[in-house]
Structure 1
Amino acid sequence: MTDATPPVEHTHAEILRTNLRALSEKIEAGLGAAFLSAKLAFDELSVTVDSAKWIESLTYLRDNGFVSFIDLTAVDFPAREKRFDVVVHLLDPAANLRIRVKTAADDINPLPSAVNVWPAANWYEREAYDMYGVLFADHPDLRRMLTDYGFDGHPLRKDFPLTGYVEVRYDDESKRVVYEPVKLNQEFRSFDFLSPWESATHTLPGDEKATKS
């Protein structure tokens, strides 16, 4: 009588990584030339696709399980020619898998809107436009949504001043909202982020005990 080899038990993390690697290979084969790269880190799969085939790539993913649109945002890299990464997070509820899809964009050439793929992308694209200045072609209503209509600039760009360009107040004399250049009564302060104990330079009673061996 021989001892049976005990079955190998895989952890949830190992199973997830295996599934994501298989998913990455499937997406690469399905997207073809639109697929640029994939990275698996921290048990999350990030796929980068060609911006010229942005909608084709998203449509393929939607038609292959990723029917749930979670989020769309942007990341700013001012030194790059295409300074933005437009990032979409998707969920395949049947397989319980999530992916991150990225493509490069600039602030001049519009990226095709994903509203016809997922209607929920509408507000998220408006937010990316408002905060970063990313343009989306064929968007049904690309207006600002978080800043005022007369706002100058895009707040989350790394080249946008913390103070902004103008400030808004209600003028009692003209009975309307007016825009004026920013006037700071107090400049930004510099903090050392040290606790009172770390920044103290004087000796307190009992400190000599801490130096004894």
Structure 2
Amino acid sequence: MTQGLEDLGAHIASSMTNAIEGQEIAFGELTLTARADQIYAVITFLRDDPRCRFTTLIDICGVDYPQRAKRFDVVYHLLSMHLNHRVRVKVAADENTPVPSIVGIYPCADWFEREAFDMYGILFSNHPDLRRILTDYGFQGFPLRKDFPMTGHVEVRYDAEQQRVIYEPVKLAQAFRSFDFLSPWEGMTLPGDEKASEQKP
């Protein structure tokens, strides 16, 4: 299995010398690192080459590394049912430079790329409809970035006076800001505890 993946990786790298920057085998899968501006050509090759035949796009996801200049990895997972192989392709991207969309190769990439845009703010050029898909209209920020606050920026509630849903800045009550760190079973008196302390005759 490992030898087959090594041969496949060598074939891909030698066929696309200007696009593939690195390869490794980990956890029984081949991972390729590609140039972001060449991703359309790489994915097309992986689908059409007779030694690859990765005809199924499983997923596209993002990873955030805020300390890097190119803070995002866009990760593509492909499956070749003909050869019973999987491949992972990674490209690095920053907040301002779009990654070419692969909707023209795999139409199902449409919603995966929209999700990566919605959750991370990753831009995709030539996408037919790049807009948010999971968050609400007017949502600010990108929830899966590591610098996004755990509480979010706004909270949603129904206002009975205005008879509509409104957005307000997040306000945490003081009770949620201080903790006694006790076990819930220690330092607490519940009704009926006095019976346990009574001596039986």
Identity of aligned residues (%): 51
* TM superposition shift of 1:187: 2.7
TM-score (norm 2): 0.85
> Which one-letter code corresponds to 2:177 in the other structure?
E
User: How many residues end up aligned between the 2 structures?
Assistant: 179
Counterpart of 1:17 in structure 2 is 2
Deviations 1:113-148 (A, max 9, x none): 110010010111111011111011111111111111
Deviations 1:52-104 (A, max 9, x none): 11111111111120110000001100011110000000011100000000001
Please provide the CA RMSD for this pair. Answer: 1.8
Q: 1:190 to 1:125 in 2, by over 3 A?
A: farther
Deviations 1:135-170 (A, max 9, x none): 111111111111111111000100111011111111
Local SS of the residue matching 1:177: strand
Counterpart of 2:79 in structure 1 is 91
What pairs with 1:156-167 in structure 2 (closer than 5 Å)? 156-167=144-155
* Alpha-carbon distance in 2 for matches of 1:98, 1:154: 29
What pairs with 1:51-66 in structure 2 (closer than 5 Å)? 51-64=36-49, 65-66=53-54
Deviations 1:187-207 (A, max 9, x none): 385979x9x9xxxxxxxxxxx
* TM superposition shift of 1:171: 1.2
Counterpart of 1:143 in structure 2 is 131
Counterpart of 2:114 in structure 1 is 126
TM-score (norm 1): 0.80
User: Are positions 1:41 and 2:26 aligned together?
Assistant: yes
Local SS of the residue matching 2:16: helix
Which 5+ residue runs of structure 1 have no aligned equivalent? Answer: 1-15, 197-213
Which 5+ residue runs of structure 2 have no aligned equivalent? Answer: 186-201
